[in-house]
Amino acid sequence: MTIITDETVKTPWQDVMARKKTAQAELLKAFSSPANSGKGNKEASVSVPISVLDTDNAGDLVNSIRTGQTTCTAITNEYIQRAIQVHHETNCFTEILFDNAIQQASQLDADLAEGSKTSTLPLLGIPVTVKDQFNVKGVDTTLGYVGRAFAPAKEDAVLVKMLRSLGAVILAKTNIPQSIMWCETENPLWGLTTHQVNKAYTPGGSTGGEGVLLACKASMLGWGTDIGGSVRIPAHMVGVYGFKPSSSRLPYRGVPVSTEGQEHVPSAIGPLARNLETIHLTMASLIEAKPWELDARCAAIPWREEMYKTTIDQPLTIGVLMDDGVVRPTPPISRVLREAVELLREAGHDILEWNGDLHEECIKVMDQFYTVDGGEDIRRDVMAGGEPFIPHVEQLLNRGKPISVYEYWQLNKQKFDLQQAYLEKWNSILSTKTGKKADIILMPPMPHTAVPHRGCRWVGYTKVWNFLDYPALVIPGGAVCDQDAKEPWEFDARGSIDEWNMKLWEERRHEIASLKLPVGLQIIGRKLEEERLLAAGKVIDDLLRSKAHS
């Protein structure tokens, strides 16, 4: 939260925005051609085989560097050029870190040439981008607030330190919505981030800048935060992989957030990538580096590779939730899920019918938590800069009044009761074939695909898992097809949001079908069972990829 003083808003917010964008443009211009980006470093002139450059697998890229097929510097420069182009098309950047990235890559190459242990680093030379929220020493962390501009971080976030220690190269920070509290990507300071397929559509949020960079092969590994779906929604909308672990598995220290200090619905950090193996490699590498020794909030749970391997090697028991009972998924969302379920059945996995019981109750309590302070935290930050509210943030602030400490305690009691009830629900739904409980739940990530800007309304499919603090993974499931637009889809609306979703599909279905927009699948695991969830995700992903290539 920004502290407001008489001096805070003396500079018009438009002037602050102009200074920030001018500084960004100058940095981009300095690197806007390969001739300039190398800064005279001989490693920059090393050619990168297209098969190496286009790989989606971080492990393969690391091996290419280790075996001398390319260099860290050459990869960094190629990714910088791609990233600049994608930014010009989508407006995905906030802070530019290219100089530092090239210095870091050059040092890695020099260490490799000397035969140091650098070659064993698990993320050696991997180009990484991070959501604007992550502190990087020497640059701003604005959260999309004008009032936080020109206040550079004094040290790196724990995650940034760890990534660099593992060999990753941080290229840039990426755009988010004002306050981060929405599933699109827009703020008065940096502007609107657009979908890579169509500028009129949103890439989702709040980690939307990361999403488009990854979808366009301009980053190998992205990092976001997720307090209601902010990693998973962009992954679904742009067609990449996004993972939200349980909140205590990875270090959050050094990652400012709106309503910082609240613990009723913890935000989690998580990776995005174009390949599930990249997420597995990254999670294992970070947890093996013992983040709990750097962040007191991290659980001291080592990486359990045996759990991962065991899960892959046995048939899964999968609960399938087709509809949360509040907002119906549109035809392409339902079709992609049905097709995945059929593949799983054919492969011998046990399918259980899941239900939406408790989901709406969890979400109602969660929505009250968002405004327990009456919007004071967000309002103070916006007032400090003097910029306008984006519409959703303004609606959020006007939704609730501050509550007393006693009322807050009662809300927490409701949360704990609902968390216990969901645990008991999971334990009670058993396979009629084996008597086993579900290993995972398979369900939609949203009721719709990417939509036109400011078109999102319902994030209940994702945020219920933040309330429960269960790990959740989104993988690409398919794409909208022409037949989807022809499917009959008429129902009595369950409420205003369901009615909105039906109207949105009716008005846009032919356009959405023509764009062949991505459709994701969401997979849920039990609390702190990240290894089992990622393994189950690989089983499902392998089946989908096998079908796509058959």
Active-site positions read 131, 206, 230
CA distance 456 to 452: 8
Go through 69-104 and write b for each residue having 16 or more CB atoms within 10 A of its CB, e for each that does not.
bbbbbbbbbbbbbbbbebbeebbbbbbbbbebbbeb
The strand pair at 440-443 and 518-524 is best described as antiparallel
Q: How many CB atoms lie within 10 A of CB 483?
A: 11
Go through 164-192 and write b for each residue having 16 or more CB atoms within 10 A of its CB, e for each that does not.
bebbbbbbbbbbbbbbbbbbbbbbbbbeb
Q: What are phi and psi of 280, to 5 degrees?
A: -60, -50
What is the end-to-end Cα distance of the chain in Å, rounded?
53
DSSP 4: P
Chain CA centroid to CA 296, Å: 23
C-beta of residue 445 within 8 angstroms of C-beta of residue 183: no
3-state secondary structure of 243: strand
Q: DSSP secondary structure string, 256-321? A: --TTTT--SS--EEEEEESSHHHHHHHHHHHHHT-GGGT-TTS------HHHHHHHHTS--EEEE-
3-state secondary structure of 476: strand
Q: What are phi and psi of 446, to 5 degrees?
A: -155, 165
- Torsion over CA: 180, 186, 191, 193 (sign): positive
Q: Which among 392, 340, 341, 342 has a CA at the least distance from the CA of 370?
A: 392
Look-up of token digits 């699109």: 184
C-beta of residue 61 within 8 angstroms of C-beta of residue 78: no
Q: How many CB atoms lie within 10 A of CB 151?
A: 11
Residue 455 corresponds to which amino acid? G
Which residues, at least 6 apart from 6, have a Cβ–Cβ distance to it below 8 Å?
none
DSSP 119: G
Chain CA centroid to CA 502, Å: 26
Residue 260 tokens, joined: 């910082």
Task: Cite the beta strand spans of 169-276 per DSSP E.
Answer: 169-174, 186-187, 191-192, 221-226, 241-244, 268-273
